[in-house]
Structure 1
Amino acid sequence: MSREQLIRSVQQHFDGGAFATDLARRVAWRTESDTGTVPPELHTYLTEEMVPSLHALDFDCQVIDNPDPKGGPLLLARRVEDPALPTVLTYGHGDVVNGQESGWREGLSPWALTQEGDRWYGRGTADNKGQHTVVLTALAYALQARGGQLGYNITVLLEMGEEAGSPGLARFCADHREALHADLFVASDGPRINVERPTLFLGSRGALNFSLTVRSRDKAYHSGNWGGVLANPATVLSHALASMVDAHGRILVPGLLPASVPDKLRAALKDVVIGTGADDPTLTPGWGEPGLTPAEQLVGWNTLEVLALGSGNAQRPINAIPSQAVAHCQLRFVVGTDWKNVQATLRQHLDAHGFEQVEIAMGMVCGATRLDLDNPWVDWTLASMERSAGQSATLLPNLAGSLPNDIFADQLGLPTLWIPHSYPACAQHAPNEHLLGSVAREGLAVMAGLFWDLGDPAGVPWKEGALNTTTSA
C-alpha cells in the first residue's frame, strides 16, 4: 500500500462511521478525575476499552497503579519490533473534567456522542478522547499499510489524572524511565490555532496557581455600627491585586515576567492571527502587555489572571463588613520566567506595598517548555503534515495553555512535538464540549501520514534530532 492509499483508507474509515462508533463508546465512560476522588471508571476505561484496542495492534500492555493515591491508574503499552530501532513515545489522557450535566443545551448529554452537522458533542470529544482516538486509529492504519512493520518501536502512555493536575505522573515516569526510553515524543492535545489549518506546537506555557487571603477578624460586623473604623478585607485585597496587575491586564511585578520576546519567536509568530474563528470571543483592544501582537501576548508572554474572587455572600449580601476575602489566581508563564521563586517574589512585592497581612498559598504548578525552533524535527514534521493535509501548517513555538510537557522534555529528555485536533472554541472543560468532524478527519490523514513517514529511513532525522534542544523554565 502506498502513502496516498493509506490516507484514503483512514478517511474512508471516518466516512463510513467507524470512527464515530469508537468515539461514542469512549465518551460513554464517565471518567471524571477532578472530583476529589478516584472513581473505578478510571481503571475500567483502561482495562476494558483501551487495552483490547492496543492488544489488537500487538502491544504489550500494563495497567499500573498511580504512585500518588490522588491520581488515577496509568496504561503503559509497548510495541517493540527490534530493540535496535528508534522508538516513538506517544501520550494521551482518558480522564475528563466533571460532566456539568445541568449546563448542557437541551438534547445534549456529556456522556453521549451527539452529531449535529460538523459538531460532535460529548465530554472528552475534544479533550482528550477524540484526540487519542485520532492518534491510535491513524497508527492502526499505518501499521496495516506497512504490512505490520512500522520500522520503529512505539510506546503509548495513557494517564487518567491529567484533568486533576497529573498527580503522580512525574514520579511514574521516573520509576519507569527505562520502559519509557524513546527518541521522539509525538502527542495530540490542546487546540489548533484556528479551524482552518493544522498546527504544530513544540511545548507549552507553564501554569502556577496561588491564592491570596486577607483574614481581618473571626466574624462579620454590622457596616452601620462599624463601617469606617474596621478594615474591609475585600477592599484591602482588591488594592493588593491592583498593585500586581493593572486595569488593562498588564503585570506590574517585574519578577513575574520574562526578559523579552525572543527574535526567533517573533519571526515564527509574524503571520499567526488570533481570534478569527466564528465562535471565538472578540479580543479586548489594549488589553495585556503593550507593544505585543495578540499572538505574542498568548504564546510569548506571561499573564496573571484572577480566576475567582470571594468575600461575603454575592448571592445574598448583607449589611456587614466581611471577615475575610480570598482571590484564587493563576500565572501562565513562558520560558525565561523565574517561576521557582514566585512565592518569594509575591511576598516581597506585597510587603513593599504595605500588604503584609495578605497570606499566600501556593497551588498546582507545571513548567514551561519550548523545543528549539532550529531542531531538525520541526521542519521535517511540518513537511509531513503539509503533504498529508494538502495545505501549509501553522507552527507555534509553544501552546498558550499548559500541559505536562516538562515531564517529557526535561525529565525524559525528549524532543517534543504536539499536533492537536481540536480548536479554540471547542468548549473543553465547559458544557457543550465538542469536536469538529472535519478537523478529526484531517487529523487522521495528518497522523497516518506522520506514522508512515517515520518508517521511511530516508530523511528522517533520528540521529540529528535525538538530542533534545528544548528550552525550559
Structure 2
Amino acid sequence: MADLDRVLATVDADLDASIERLFAFLRIPSISTDRAYAAECRRAGQWLADDLASLGFATKLNDTPGHPIVTAASNGGAERRVMFYGHYDVQPVDPLDLWESPPFEPRIVENAEGVKRIVARGSADDKGQVMTFVEACRAFVKATGKLPVEVTVMVEGEEESGSANIGPFVAAHKDELKADLALVCDTGMWDAQTPSIILSLRGLMHDEIVVHAADRDLHSGYYGGAAANPLHVLSKAIAAVHDANGHVAIPGFYDGVVEPPDYMKAAWSKLDLTPENFLGPVGLSLPSGEKDRLLIELISSRPTFEVNGMWGGYIGEGSKTVIPSIATAKISCRLVANQDPVRVRDAVRAFIRAQIPADCSVEFLGGEGSPAVAVTHDNPDLAKAAKALGDEWGTPPVTVGEGGSIPVVGQFKKVLGQDTLLVGFSLDDDRIHSPNEKYDLTSFHKGIRSWVRILAALAQ
C-alpha cells in the first residue's frame, strides 16, 4: 500500500506535465483515412514510441501496408504480463466551421458548472485514453523504479479507417504479444461519477442486398400495376424480418444466444436507463426492439438486424416516373456471444431469397463479419479491476455489455487466447467523431489513477 500511495501521489504532482505531454500528442493531425496525412500518422506513432522508450520500454515502429503499429515491451522480471491496446489515429475534423477552436490546437475550457475539459480532436478517442495508461506506467517507474506487472503495448494507426492491418499483424506477432490478459481503454464511464467495465462487445455481420427486376427502368404509366417494382419487393422482404413484438423472425437467427445470469439482469433493472434519458436526447421516446426485454438488453446483450441504407430508382431533384430495375439495401447485424457470423449471414440470405418473386432475382455483396467477445463473470482479474475502480471512484463499477464492436478484441481471444478487460473513461457527451470533441480533465486525471490501481491489483 505504501508503494501504491507513492505512485498515486506522483500522478497528482505530475498532472500538469501529463497534460502537456497529451497536448503534444494531440497536436499531431493523425487522420488515418486520408492518405494526405500519412506522414502525420507516422509522426504520431513515432512520438508515442519515443515516449514509451523514455520509460524503459523496448519499442518499435512496425511498418504495415498502411500506417505503422507501435509496439513496446517492458522486461523487469515481474511474474505476470498484460498487453494494452489502443489507437493513435483520429477521425477527420469536418465540418471544420463547426469547431469553436482549431481541432489540433488543444486547450482546456471550463463550462458553466466549473467542469474543466480538454478540447481537441482525439482527446477522448483515443489519444487521451491511451495516455491515461502511459501516464500510469510513468508514475510507477518514477515512484518505484519498476512496473508491478510486465507490460506490452500495441497501439495501431488505422482503427478509425477499418483496422485493415491489425489482424494480420496480431497473427504474425502472436509470440511477442502473448500475455495473461489484454487491456483496452477505448470505452466509457456509465456516468460522470460511475466507472464501468465492459464485459462483452457485440460482433458484426454486414451485407449488401441487391434485388433485380426488369432488364431496364420502366415507364410507370405503361407498366405500373403489372411489373414488379424491386423497391417494393425489397421493402416487403425487409419488413418481414421483424415480427409484431420486435423479434427477428429469421429462422436460426438466435442460435447460440445465451441469457445473462439472473443476478446480472436484476442489477441492470436497477440502473437508471430509461427511454426518456436514453432516447430523449436524440429526439425519440419509444424503444423499437423486442418488447419483452429491458432497454439495456436491447443495446448490449441482444442481437439486432438493422437497415443502414436503402436506395433505387430516381432520387434527383424533381420527379421521374419510373419503375426502377434495381433496388439496394445495406444491412448490418450486431451479434452476441456464441453467434456465428457465417451462420447468421447464411440465415439472413436464405430468408431474403425466400421473399423474392420468381421473376426477380437477388444477389448479395459482402457478408463480412466478426464474432462477439465476452469475459466470463467469474474471471478473477475482473474482480480485481472492479475493486480497484471502486476504490478510486468511491462507487463500484457497472458491469455491462456494449453494443458496439471492436474486432481486434476478438483477435486477442481467437489468436492469442487471452481475455480482455475493457475499461474506459470517456463520457456520453464527449462528442466523439464530432466537432468540438472533448475529454473531461477529471476523466484524464482519475483515469491515470484508475490504471495505477488496476495494475497494482493485477500484480497480486
Query: Residues 215, 77 of structure 1: CA spacing in aligned structure 2 closer, same or farther, 3 A cutoff?
Result: same
- Structure 1 distance, partners of 2:326, 2:193, is 48
CA contact (8 A) 1:202 1:418 kept: yes
- Structure 2 distance, partners of 1:432, 1:222, is 49
Q: SS state of the match for residue 390, structure 2?
A: helix
Letter in 2 for 1:402: S
- Structure 2 distance, partners of 1:418, 1:367, is 17
Query: Residues 247, 219 of structure 1: CA spacing in aligned structure 2 closer, same or farther, 3 A cutoff?
Result: farther
Match for residue 143 of structure 1?
Answer: 141
1:353 CA displacement: 2.3
Question: Which of 353, 356, 372 matches 1:354?
Answer: 356
- Structure 2 distance, partners of 1:172, 1:393, is 33
Which ranges in structure 1 are unaligned for 5 or more consecutive residues? 461-473
CA contact (8 A) 1:222 1:319 kept: no
TM normalised by structure 2 equals 0.88
CA contact (8 A) 2:99 2:436 kept: no
Q: How does 1:74-473 map to 2 (within 5 A)?
A: 74-82=69-77, 85-102=79-96, 105-117=98-110, 118-145=116-143, 147-217=144-214, 220-245=217-242, 250-257=247-254, 258-264=256-262, 265-267=264-266, 269-274=268-273, 276=277, 280-281=281-282, 284-314=285-315, 316-321=317-322, 322-354=324-356, 357-396=361-400, 398-403=401-406, 404-455=408-459, 460=460
Query: Residues 195, 305 of structure 1: CA spacing in aligned structure 2 closer, same or farther, 3 A cutoff?
Result: farther
Match for residue 25 of structure 1?
Answer: 24
Q: SS state of the match for residue 71, structure 2?
A: strand
- Structure 2 distance, partners of 1:405, 1:97, is 20
Letter in 2 for 1:75: V
- Structure 1 distance, partners of 2:368, 2:48, is 29
CA contact (8 A) 2:314 2:320 kept: no
Q: SS state of the match for residue 26, structure 1?
A: helix
Q: SS state of the match for residue 362, structure 1?
A: coil
Letter in 1 for 2:44: Y
CA contact (8 A) 1:91 1:156 kept: yes
1:110 CA displacement: 3.2
Query: Residues 242, 88 of structure 1: CA spacing in aligned structure 2 closer, same or farther, 3 A cutoff?
Result: same
- Structure 2 distance, partners of 1:50, 1:274, is 38
CA contact (8 A) 2:204 2:369 kept: yes
Moved more, 381-390 or 320-329: 320-329
- Structure 1 distance, partners of 2:316, 2:245, is 27
CA contact (8 A) 2:88 2:157 kept: yes
Query: Residues 354, 217 of structure 1: CA spacing in aligned structure 2 closer, same or farther, 3 A cutoff?
Result: closer
Q: How does 1:6-21 map to 2 (within 5 A)?
A: 6-14=7-15, 16=16, 18-21=17-20
1:393-415 CA distance string (max 9 Å, x none): 1112x322111211112221112
1:118-146 CA distance string (max 9 Å, x none): 3433222221111101111122112222x
Letter in 2 for 1:415: D
Letter in 1 for 2:30: T
1:199 CA displacement: 0.8
Letter in 2 for 1:116: V
1:114 CA displacement: 4.1
Query: Residues 106, 173 of structure 1: CA spacing in aligned structure 2 closer, same or farther, 3 A cutoff?
Result: closer
1:106 CA displacement: 4.7
Q: SS state of the match for residue 231, structure 1?
A: coil
1:12 CA displacement: 4.1
Query: Residues 232, 111 of structure 1: CA spacing in aligned structure 2 closer, same or farther, 3 A cutoff?
Result: farther
Q: SS state of the match for residue 72, structure 1?
A: coil
Query: Residues 383, 46 of structure 1: CA spacing in aligned structure 2 closer, same or farther, 3 A cutoff?
Result: same
CA contact (8 A) 2:205 2:345 kept: no
- Aligned residues: percent identity? 26
1:375-434 CA distance string (max 9 Å, x none): 1111111111111222221112x3221112111122211121111111233232233332
Aligned length: 446
- Structure 1 distance, partners of 2:243, 2:431, is 28
Letter in 1 for 2:81: T
Query: Residues 279, 245 of structure 1: CA spacing in aligned structure 2 closer, same or farther, 3 A cutoff?
Result: closer
Query: Residues 106, 52 of structure 1: CA spacing in aligned structure 2 closer, same or farther, 3 A cutoff?
Result: closer
CA contact (8 A) 1:280 1:425 kept: no
Letter in 1 for 2:457: D
1:337 CA displacement: 1.7
Moved more, 358-367 or 401-410: 358-367
CA contact (8 A) 2:148 2:456 kept: no
Moved more, 308-317 or 179-188: 308-317
Query: Residues 8, 163 of structure 1: CA spacing in aligned structure 2 closer, same or farther, 3 A cutoff?
Result: same
Letter in 2 for 1:21: E
Letter in 2 for 1:142: F
- Structure 1 distance, partners of 2:203, 2:19, is 33
